[in-house]
Structure 1
Amino acid sequence: VTLSAAESALDDLEAKRGDKYPIVIKSWRNKWFTLSTYFKYPEYVRTAIYTTNAVEAVHRQFRKLTKTKGGFANENSLLKLLYAGILKASERWSHPVQNWSLTLSQLTIHFEGRLDDHIDL
């Protein structure tokens, strides 16, 4: 939830599993400055950043479409199948990101000028 809690959890992980996963712990320690920038955002922004449900839903749809197919004549035929499938699947997606307007305003503040070409605020 907080930067200090994350640092404490990393210390606990190192104490508990550091001998089994020393390379992972070392990598996290070396990149902690980059990883910890996540905590400068409010919690609702962090939720939008780490939520992967939408991405997982897309992957699930792609797997459903392709798992029963033996092969594709070419790459274009695969892309057409995925495109048609994603259009059909997107009709059922109705769950918006919670606090999206608040999250969007915070992202606009944190990344000033980067969203101007994409969003009318």
Structure 2
Amino acid sequence: MRLAEFDEKWGKRYPSIAGTWERAWSELVPFLGLPDAIRQVVYTTNAIESLNARYRRAAQACGHFPNEQAALKRLYLATLALDPTGRGRQRWNNRWKSALNEFDVLFDGRLTAGRV
């Protein structure tokens, strides 16, 4: 019903959105049923794509590498440049802590099953 309301209001301006949601409805609905903490980190997390894009830019900026070690060093330096202050891990932990707790509850302790 809400999707129909959205399509009625915004369908003329953004015609592909409602159609895309209708085609992917079976994947979208379970996602909406997850707790807010999980949804927040899942839909905002594209860290792998971001890292790959940074690696591509770093490699293209050099053009070519004389050997494999030079290429690996360039990727290492690109990785270090992502978090120059070293506080990124703390930000990651703060953002994921509540989501990890929700995952543990939702999946009946499977995340902490092997911990002592």
TM bin, normalised by shorter chain, reads 0.5 to 0.7
Contact in 1 for aligned 2:37/2:102 (Cα 8 Å): no
TM-score by length of 1: 0.58
The structure 1 residue matched to 2:63, chosen from 61, 70, 82, is 70
Equivalent residue, structure 2, for 1:21:
15
The alpha-carbon deviation at position 32 of structure 1 amounts to 0.9
The CA distance in 2 between the partners of 1:19 and 1:85, in whole Å, is 40
Q: Does 1:81 align with 2:74?
A: yes
Contact in 2 for aligned 1:44/1:103 (Cα 8 Å): yes
The CA distance in 2 between the partners of 1:74 and 1:12, in whole Å, is 58
Q: Does 1:58 align with 2:51?
A: yes
The CA distance in 1 between the partners of 2:69 and 2:5, in whole Å, is 49
The CA distance in 2 between the partners of 1:99 and 1:19, in whole Å, is 34
Equivalent residue, structure 2, for 1:42:
35
Q: Structure 1's 72 and 59: CA in aligned 2 closer, same or farther, altered over 3 A?
A: same
The alpha-carbon deviation at position 102 of structure 1 amounts to 2.7
The CA distance in 2 between the partners of 1:43 and 1:101, in whole Å, is 13
Equivalent residues, number: 112
Contact in 2 for aligned 1:18/1:25 (Cα 8 Å): no
The CA distance in 2 between the partners of 1:75 and 1:114, in whole Å, is 40
The CA distance in 2 between the partners of 1:88 and 1:19, in whole Å, is 40
Q: Structure 1's 50 and 27: CA in aligned 2 closer, same or farther, altered over 3 A?
A: closer
Q: CA RMSD in A?
A: 3.8
Equivalent residue, structure 2, for 1:104:
100
Contact in 1 for aligned 2:55/2:78 (Cα 8 Å): yes
Equivalent residue, structure 2, for 1:120:
115
Q: Structure 1's 57 and 100: CA in aligned 2 closer, same or farther, altered over 3 A?
A: same
Query: Unpaired runs of 5+ in structure 2?
Result: none
State the SS of the aligned residue for 2:61. coil
The CA distance in 2 between the partners of 1:37 and 1:103, in whole Å, is 16
Identity %: 25
